[in-house]
Structure 1
Amino acid sequence: MHIILTGATGLIGASVLQRCLSSPNVTQLSILSRRDFALPVGDTLDTKKAQIFVHTDYTSYPAELVQKLKGADGCIWAQGVSQNDVSKDEYVRITHDYPLAAAKSFASLPNTGKFNFVYVSGEGADPAEKSFTLFGKVKGRTEKELLGLQSTPEYGTLRIYNVRPGLVDPPEFHRPRSLMQRVFVDRAVAPALRMLIPSQVSPTGQLSKVLVDLATGDGSPLPDGKGIEAEGRTVRSLAIRR
């Protein structure tokens, strides 16, 4: 299957990238990135099926780029930013505006009549927008509006999945975080959560498998179970670990 990936240089996206390159279910990988970068190498990684498209305006998709993505079957939207690193307006633009614009544009891509759009959200996302945090409100609003798209005639090809990881355990190959983050998260928060509330910790290996499986699946709602919500369209951290 032909999969589109964003956020490939980030914590979650880097793990998804490796999973896509090693998965036989992904036969073509189109990576949208603000800059070019070197693909990872390894015995199990097939880099020949991947192509990087440098793209800087994620609110707009020119016809030339859309044509190159034509026939894609799904997208894993792993692009994101911390609410502490940017202004409120920029956070809303990256977290809400970008994925909504992409989903609308990508709805016309598939040859099969359906397109799996997998949005990496997070625990604490609140579709009712009653959260006290900007993260919870904006992620929740994005989830809600993405799900709304798939019920419209114009974007009816979309099959939306909102995936909510908890604290993401980074793989050893990806530790480009600040010293303060490493000390605070790795030595204080993460050990406590692993011991007391393991369901709120999402190892990148398990998370990337879930994301790729959803993107390459048949688009059907997930069966009921712990951590599955929104009629089979939302996957919480508890379900990621199962």
Structure 2
Amino acid sequence: MRILILGATGMVGQGVLRETLLAKDVSEAVVLGRTPIEKSDDKLKEIIHGNLFDLTDIESQLENLDACFFCLGVSSYGMSEADYARISYDLTLSVAKTLLRLNPMMTFVYVSGAGTDSTERGKSMWARVKGKTENALLALPFKAVYLFRPGIIQPLHGVKSKTKAYRLLYPILWPFIVIARPLMPGVILTTVNVGLAMLNAARRGEGDRVLESKDIYQLSR
């Protein structure tokens, strides 16, 4: 498989990239982003592109892909709904539509989050926007669309969050997470779980599915 990954510098994206590079049935992991990643591998191909809203100049490098793991996202803290929607909705749909045109048989895997609001009418701004994004992706005729809604994720193998608050919080919560995760594997995921689940979604490539934490865990197995 040839897999495209967006958001490979974030916590989820780092973990997903690691598992993708380790997978024997992946021939190439194509990472698309604005900044380089600190990683080298024979399977890795990096595409550095400043304007992700316009992929015209790099379209030839985005063909013949089997799946896209869309891990790109920002925190909604301190953002207006319009600004948050521009990244979480507008950018996601812009990239997705380009990829669909170039790869009509692609499986598209999108990371939203636990609590996403499919009705698009709830009080939580981020949940409404994510719900709107999920609904729009499901309306696109990809081979398959998988919507991942993880909650707590334990970073493993040197993976770190880019969000300062999370980096400060994880050391405090780490003892609890280490003890609780084996007891609640369907509640507390690891970056390995998420990466393996995405790969299995790409391998199956059938139907449209919304996956909560417990579903992601089962798919990772």
Shared fold (TM-score, shorter chain, > 0.5): yes
Instruction: Report SS of the residue matched to 1:89.
Output: helix
Structure 2 counterparts to residues 69-148 of structure 1, below 5 A: 69-84=62-77, 86-110=79-103, 114-148=105-139
Q: Give the conservation status (yes or no) of the 8 Å contact 1:73–1:109.
A: no
- Over 3 Å counting, the alpha-carbon distance change for 1:36 and 1:125 in structure 2 is same
Which residue identity does 2:99 align to in structure 1? Answer: F
Match of 1:241 among 202, 217, 220: 217
Paired letter, 1:128? T
- Secondary structure of the equivalent of 1:199? coil
Match of 2:46 in 1: 52
Name the residue aligned to 2:37.
37
* Residues 2 and 29 in structure 2, CA contact (< 8 A), matched pair in contact too: yes
Aligned partners of 1:149 and 1:158 also within 8 Å: no
Deviates more, 1:71-80 or 1:182-191: 182-191
Q: 1:107 to 1:210 in 2, by over 3 A?
A: same
The superposition leaves residues 175-207 of structure 1 with CA deviations (integer Å, 9 ceiling, x where unpaired) of: 355665345454359838947966332211111
Q: CA deviation at 1:96?
A: 0.9
- State how many pairs are aligned: 216
CA apart distance, 1:172: 4.5
1:182 and 1:205 mapped to 2: Cα distance?
Answer: 18
Unmatched tracts of structure 1, length 5 or more = 41-46, 151-156, 222-231
Per-residue Cα deviation, 1:45-67 (whole angstroms, up to 9, x for no partner): xx1221111122222221x3111
Structure 2 CA distance for aligned equivalents of residues 202 and 165 of structure 1: 7
Contact persistence 2:10–2:161 (CA under 8 A): no
- Structure 2 gaps of 5+ residues are none
Closer/same/farther in 2, CA of residues 119 and 212 from structure 1, 3 Å limit: same
Distance 1:176 1:185, change over 3 A: closer
Judge conservation of contact 1:117–1:160 (CA < 8 Å) in 2. Answer: yes
User: Which amino acid counterpart does residue 22 of structure 2 have in structure 1?
Assistant: S
Q: Give TM-score, length-normalised by structure 2.
A: 0.87
Separation in structure 2 between the aligned mates of residue 179 and residue 142 of structure 1, nearest angstrom: 26
Residues 168-179 of structure 1 correspond to what in structure 2 (within 5 A)?
168-176=153-161
Q: Distance in 2 between matches of 1:123 and 1:106?
A: 26
Aligned-partner SS, 1:234: strand
- Deviation of the 1:129 alpha carbon: 1.3
Distance across 1 between alignment mates of 2:140 and 2:175: 36
The separation in 1 between residues aligned to 2:37 and 2:96, in whole angstroms, is 24
One-letter identity of the residue aligned with 1:174: V
Note the aligned Cα RMSD (angstroms).
2.5
Amino acid at match of 2:107: N
**TM-score, with structure 1 as normaliser:** 0.80
